[in-house]
Structure 1
């Protein structure tokens, strides 16, 4: 199925949207890096004590414990502790990214994000490693800047600190053929550490922001007959490829977009317009019927899938 969609992309104007998770790091760095393993990352804050693998709540527990155990002379409230810990996480990830980029040969699949076939990468990671690798592989831009071309740019000033303005901002590189590739960071970015999404409140805000983005998308579609350019619109309008992401139930912001895409095209008259969502799955998962996703490839190990996809997206 994916092969057919890719053939259509190569002969037409359609391009892919990739949703990128930490599995991208796992295939290059293994499971002991803070870039590929939530438990390892949160252990930097709490030495791995009492982690339940429900990492949103684990982060909240760490904040409560650190607030309880601080010196009386400090006496910060939990929100102050949260701000400090998110800054620390941003710093840890920034240092890890710098180390990883000093040895780029670890990443064996440089053409996964070929701008000839991929228009958008929605990164669920906080780091910019994929972007930096693409910049080296394809980009001519010496400096990539944040941009916002959504309807929210008409409401908020440029570089606003509003969560929804930052969530709908992207970074774009252009290859030597003039193909553009946008990188979106709806979960936040180490370049803007205060946007990093951890904990219950920020995940809740991501859901409400996504609903608001969806409402703007529909309003622009209805009143102006034009695309409101956001990560949400690129999920709705393009074929989607999920790489290295399990999409757990905690991802309510992302699930809001994926469910809406499915519902939006559920009428019989709309089915022909639907752009499918493909997911890189384990061999066992690919054998089951998944209501939301089609398997990228069936009955193949992850390493084989990365290799095959690399070959398919190479000119």
Structure 2
């Protein structure tokens, strides 16, 4: 029997486009922790500080009114998090576009703001799984692990919607199960260590992005790229550009100069945007500015041992 949800209606002073605002949280089209409805609604299943919860958001067209419903022990926490999740705490007042393409993207997406979920491990676990592999491999691995070790999402959405494991749940996953999901030992060890330190990491988020990133990067296997991916989603950091990413520097370089650049070139290109560098990355991504992809896709790798022949 599904319990009755708790609900709230929240109004913003800007237009809210749920899919643009929350697309960064979706880990591939088959992500079992999220569901995107044909009516434009978005559903997320997460582990909150109060327990598991499901959040259902509806915004009628390009409107400023968001109808939110939530289920589970974490329901009230999720309702209170809605404004921050939709970027209400992000201050874009000092942002100035120094390139025509950035200015055009800002005109097209003036409503977009950096989200803040407030949930470090929720963003960190998939980011670790995504380290140094293709998106296809990362999404497949995350999907397999969540379906196997997560828990049913509260609410009326059926068994296809699954909340990710708790911190202790991630820490208990055996190494062979990670390998079956094509997550190698380096990534699984980093994730297990992070899960065991989840309390300290979540506390860091309340102390600010700088301290939160310092605590993450003090752990083995978590570097600048991974902490930036978390800061973009959990901490609402508008400056957390994805240095170390296989595509980001090349894509932004291509968009702004006509040539791909490396991380050093990216840092130079984005220097005028200090304080808003991730905002530039996100806006160019929303506007679809990516360099042409050429050549065959990398085949997914296998991490299970094989018999010698």
What TM-score comes out, normalization by structure 1 length? 0.31
Structure of greater relative contact order (alpha carbons < 8 Å, 6+ residues apart): 1
